[in-house]
Amino acid sequence: MKIKSWLMYAMTTTILWGIWGAFIEIPEKAGFPATLGYSVWALAMIPVALIALMRVNWKLDGDWRSIIYGVSAGLLGCGGQMILFQCLRMGPAYIIFPIISLYPVVTIVLSLAILKEKANGRSWMGIILALVAIGMLSYQPHGNSVVHGYLWFVLAMIVFIMWGLQAFIMKYAGGNENADSMKAESITFYLMISAIVLIPIALYLTDFSQTINWGLKGLWAAGLVQSLNAVGFLFFAYAIRYGKAIIVVPMMALAPVVTVIISLILYSVVPHPIIIGGMIFAFVSIYLLAD
């Protein structure tokens, strides 16, 4: 059976983001802050976006519709990351990540209501299992998180909505075969612009009073790891361009499965039973969605 192009793009994204998740802690634990990691990612998006445009002979969608949709999607995604940094400083990660990880729900609801996307019974079962798996895979045991009021919950919900809207806008702008449909390469370019624009905020949130590792395990490791994230976004843009958002977005949110497997192999980290259950649901979900 011929494999659908969107499925190949989606699986590639899931693998790249899963590998990224497995190694992202290396530069952070070595003394390279996550906020600087964002800045490195934004810069890594530059060659990815330029190579993507080169593949389409530099034909950037430059009309106002494309600019508005592209920049909006970029600011929603990157802006959500900025808010997440602050959110994690105020609230418990074991609650924040499960909330935010369910952002595909927003994309699914909007795609059903506005884009009129449809799925068969098998796909719906896969979507439901994916959402359950996403929540379980995001499980983190109770730690010693310092909780400051309830603003963290409001911020977490804002990120949840922003990331769901980002995926929907990407699909709305480029998910059809009409003449005015945006190319995935253009969406990637505008996200790169948005990411760079927000670098000053990331630098502002960075505590430069601490010792920062600018060496091999810090800056350079971050550059390599964040490049996986950047390339993964390009494939994400392709996947959502050619596939249904209600299927593609939940599938790519299962990247933690790859992260857990790599962590188990390299670090001998045995996952929590809840995470193991999430992995089982994820595998079944991918099988159903890939039909």
Q: How far, in Å, CA of 19 to CA of 40, rounded?
A: 17
| pLDDT given for residue 2 in this prediction | 42
Residues 281 and 132: beta-carbon distance below 8 Å: yes
Q: How far is CA 291 from CA 28, 108, 131, in A?
A: 38, 19, 18
How many Å apart are CA 128 and CA 289, to the nearest integer? 10
What long-range pairs does 148-152 form, CB within 8 A, spacing at least 24? Answer: 148/90, 148/91, 149/90, 151/90, 152/87, 152/90, 152/91, 152/92, 152/96
- Per-residue pLDDT for the chain (291 aa), expressed as one digit of tens each? 345 788 899 999 999 999 998 898 899 889 999 999 999 999 999 999 999 999 999 999 988 989 999 999 999 999 999 998 888 788 777 778 778 888 998 999 999 899 888 888 888 898 898 888 888 887 777 655 555 567 888 898 999 999 999 999 999 987 655 546 789 999 999 999 999 999 999 999 998 999 999 999 999 999 999 999 999 999 999 999 888 888 889 888 888 888 888 888 887 777 788 888 888 888 888 878 776
d(CA 243, CA 170): 12
Q: Please, which residues have CB within 8 angstroms of residue 216's CB and are 6 or more apart in sequence?
A: none
Angular region, 17: left φ>0, alpha ψ -120 to 50, beta rest: alpha
* C-beta of residue 49 within 8 angstroms of C-beta of residue 227: no
Considering the entire predicted model, what is its pTM?
0.86
Q: What are phi and psi of 97, to 5 degrees?
A: -65, -45
Residue type, 87: C
* Beta-carbon contacts of residue 273 (< 8 Å; ≥ 6 apart): none
> From residue 263, how far is each of 26, 78, 251 by CA, in Å?
12, 26, 20
Number of H helices, E strands in the chain: 14, 0
pLDDT, position 122: 83
Nearest to 18 by CA among 176, 236, 213, 223: 236
How far apart are alpha carbons 221 and 23 in whole angstroms? 9
What pLDDT does 89 receive? 80
